[in-house]
Structure 1
Amino acid sequence: MLSVWCSTIGSVVVVSLASFIGIVALSKDAARVQRAIFIMVSLAVGAMFGDTFIHLLPEAFKSDGSLATPAYILAGILVFFLLEKFLLWRHEHIPHYGACVHPVGYVSLVADGLHNFIDGLLIGSSYLVSLPVGLATTIAVLLHEIPQEIGDFGVLLHAGFTTAKALWFNFFAASLAIVGAITALIAGELVAAFPKAILPLTAGGFIYLAGSDLVPELHKEREPVKSLIQMLAIGVGIGLMLLVKLFGS
């Protein structure tokens, strides 16, 4: 169990540190940042779908082949839909009220903190199943987290935060992933059925995130060459998940 704790905490610390990429990215050329996000979103789509269909769903059905598993998958989709709908963690849906922009920044932080807490739950629960499943979920979350944290940082700057304040508040919100991971590990020790429930919930969440949020972003790009790059990046994301499956056991 000690190795599970070490792997989980190490993974969520890496994910939390991704928030610092925001200030690095915004200090670079804007066009370069957009190119990086363009590729990163495509990688995240491949990684999320790959993790779902190569790791999470096979493990979920292997541990529980009853109707409870598909029910949890559907519940995961609905839970993430409600999070997006009511907690406004997708920042482009946060309303701006003229000059009163500071509240927008704090609402963004609360929503992002909850999102990161859930990321920690997903990573911790995945490591309870096996090291390869935990590693695959960490990669999928990280690839999705990097472009999101860049956006988070931009929202805070737009809300009137100083660069230093935006960076540290953003990092604090990201660090809630550690709290989520610890919660998952403790719950897994106390409730034996916890990993069986959280795996299909995670799968449903990834299906929703990749299919509802990220794929529509990719459809905004119409150029044939960039569309080909998107396909290749999606393939690389899926390939990473397959490599973890083949060599991580």
Structure 2
Amino acid sequence: MHSQECPLVQSLNQHKLVTHPVTSSVTSRIFAVLFPGNPAVNALLATLYISGPPNFLLALCPPNIDPSSLSVMVAFAVGGLLGDTLFHLLPEIFLGEDSPEHVRFVMVEPNKNLLLGVAIMVGFITFVAMDKGLRIATGGESGHDHSHGAVERDEKPAARGTASSVDSGDASAVRQRKPASSSDSTSPSTTTFIPDKEISPSVKLGGYLNLIADFTHNITDGLALSSSFYASPTIGATTTVAVFFHEIPHEVGDFALLIQSGFSKRQAMGAQFVTAVGAFLGTAIGIAVQEFGGSSSGAGAVSGPGLWGTSLQWGDMLLPFTAGTFLYVGTVAVIPELLETGPDRGLELRKTATQFAAMAAGAGIMLA
């Protein structure tokens, strides 16, 4: 007999409906419009939402954007990512989501929580290894952190001459102006136009490695979206919101790094659209694992013992894995940038207060 057919459980269900009647909030109605299909369709729609708008926003960004101006947006994204991980993903991973219509029972298994913890750690360590590998590949100059502290190289532009020569951010345009300015004998200020420094090979390499890292990171975003929608529609929707807010400073930071690596604005935007394919690839992989690898609650649920004799299947490992990557992105990859301070104490105090307010706002959205 199914547990929901038990008289005791049915009486508990009736008591729950009386004491906690089902209501439809504004956010739930919005989510129902944005995600009207099954988990696979919703995951693909979510990937489209988090990949399209942030990339189109790059058209509005000036090539010489100051990455430090993104610190408030980064803090807001951190609050959203950590809020989603701590308020939604981890409770869902270990306990499951509450159902508004009936009570739920959680079965405690000896090795289940252990396996879930291992999957979280594997996700965390995977990003540590990726970040460390990129730092080694770039000679220790900078890794691909998701707060994009790497774009601090913007302080040393590829070429420096007259004020108007760097506005476009296009190194090729600077090189085209060089002969004309050097042959002009009528103006002493233009005859001394000499590029301060050509783009070094390591900076160019850093730009291409950043694209690879961005592609890999987008794969994990796709995995997160697919696994969260198979867990529940609510978890999927909140994860989409958290990833969306993270993608805006993420994409703008990558855009600034590519510009200073020698890309034109159009080339940088095109490269960002190419890396967005990684999110769809990750979503497709996640859907395939859920559908064919099995999960204890998804469409691919299988009968019989699972991993280590527990009820867990391989599909159940995706959500804790992505929770581990979110923990890395929201802490190790971003917090160091927020801890950076300057000599002006008053300015830093105001900046810190703004960052904490933004972080609280991001977490507050996840609570709501």
Identify the TM-score tier after normalising by the shorter chain. 0.7 to 0.9
Larger radius of gyration: 2
Distance across 2 between alignment mates of 1:93 and 1:85: 17
Moved more, 11-20 or 217-226: 217-226
Counterpart of 1:204, as a letter, is G
| CA RMSD, Structure 1 to Structure 2 (Å) | 2.7
- Secondary structure of the 1:66 match is helix
Alpha-carbon deviation of 1:25? 2.3
Looking at secondary structure, tell me which structure has more helix per residue. 1
Q: Distance in 2 between matches of 1:140 and 1:116?
A: 14
The SS at the match of 1:212 is coil
1:226 aligns with 2:355: no
- For 1:156 and 1:185, locate their aligned partners in 2 and report how far apart those are by CA, in whole Å: 32
1:34 CA drift (Å): 4.3
Retained in 2: the 8 A contact 1:126–1:199?
A: yes
**Which string of whole-angstrom CA distances, capped at 9 and with x for unpartnered residues, describes residues 88-118 of structure 1?**
4336299999543544432221221111111
Cα separation, 2, equivalents of 1:94 and 1:68: 39
What's the counterpart of residue 66 of structure 1? 113
1:211 — aligned with what?
331
Code of the aligned partner of 2:361: V
5 Å-filtered alignment, 1:86-125, equals 86-87=133-134, 88-90=143-145, 92=150, 99-100=200-201, 102-125=204-227
Q: Residues of 2 paired with 1:22 and 1:13: CA distance?
A: 16
Q: Normalising by structure 1, report the TM-score.
A: 0.85
Where in structure 1 do 4 or more consecutive aligned residues deviate above 4 Å?
Answer: 93-98
Structure 2: distance between partners of 1:94 and 1:83: 20
- Please say if residues 94 and 108 of structure 1, whose CA atoms lie closer than 8 Å, have aligned partners that are also in contact: no
How much does 1:76 deviate?
1.7
- When structure 1 is superposed on structure 2, of 111-120 and 58-67 the one drifting more is 58-67
Deviations 1:133-162 (A, max 9, x none): 112222222222211211211222222222
Matched, 1:14 2:49: yes
Q: Select the residue among 100, 115, 127 that pairs with 2:229.
A: 127
Shift of 1:171: 0.9
Question: What does residue range 49-60 of structure 1 map to in structure 2 within 5 Å?
Answer: 49-60=82-93
Question: Corresponding residue for 1:246?
Answer: none
Q: Which amino acid aligns with 1:56?
A: L
| In structure 2, C-alpha distance between the alignment counterparts of 1:104 and 1:167, rounded to whole Å | 17
Q: Within 2, Cα distance between the matches of 1:99 and 1:58? A: 47
Percent identical residues: 33
Matched-pair contact (CA < 8 Å) for 1:13–1:175? no
Choose the corresponding residue for 1:147, options 229, 249, 262. 249
* Gap regions ≥5 residues in structure 1: 244-249
User: For 1:81, which of 128, 134, 137 is the aligned residue?
Assistant: 128
Kept in 2: contact 1:56–1:203 (CA 8 A): yes
Letter of the 1:152 counterpart: D
Moved more, 148-157 or 49-58: 148-157
Q: Match for 1:123: what amino acid? A: L
Q: 1:93 to 1:34 in 2, by over 3 A?
A: closer
Q: Which moved more, 1:40-49 or 1:189-198?
A: 189-198
Q: State how many pairs are aligned.
A: 240
| 1:121 to 1:94, Cα distance in 2 relative to 1, 3 A | farther
Displacement of 1:212 after TM fit?
Answer: 0.8
1:45 to 56, 73, 78: 78
For the 8 Å contact 1:126–1:134, the answer to whether it is kept is yes
| Equivalent position to 2:273, from 171, 176, 181 | 171
Q: Is the 8 A contact 1:23 1:153 kept in 2?
A: no
Distance in 2, matches of 1:30 and 1:164, equals 15
Q: 1:73 to 1:99 in 2, by over 3 A?
A: closer
The alpha-carbon deviation at position 175 of structure 1 amounts to: 2.6
